[in-house]
Amino acid sequence: RDFTFALLVGTVAGTYSTIYIACTSVLLFEKMRIPKLARKK
């Protein structure tokens, strides 16, 4: 029972990390990249 709970908590934490933290990081990276591309033109 305890192991199942630990797996469930890990799955929820991993899903949260992927959806909220990684997506936010990608959006910030894209926001910084766009001005650099505009300067190259």
* pLDDT tens readout for residues 1-41: 899 999 999 999 999 988 888 888 888 888 888 777 677 65
> What range defines the domain where residue 13 resides?
1-41
- Amino acid identity for residue 27 in this structure: L
Give pLDDT, residue 32: 84
Q: What angle do CA 7, 17, 25 make, to 5 degrees?
A: 160
Task: Compute CA distances 2 → 9, 10, 14, 18, 21, whole Å.
Answer: 11, 12, 18, 24, 27
Give pLDDT, residue 41: 59
Give pLDDT, residue 40: 65
Give pLDDT, residue 35: 74
Give pLDDT, residue 8: 98
Q: Domain count of the chain?
A: 1
pTM of the predicted structure, to 2 decimals: 0.53
Residue with tokens 């990081």: 25
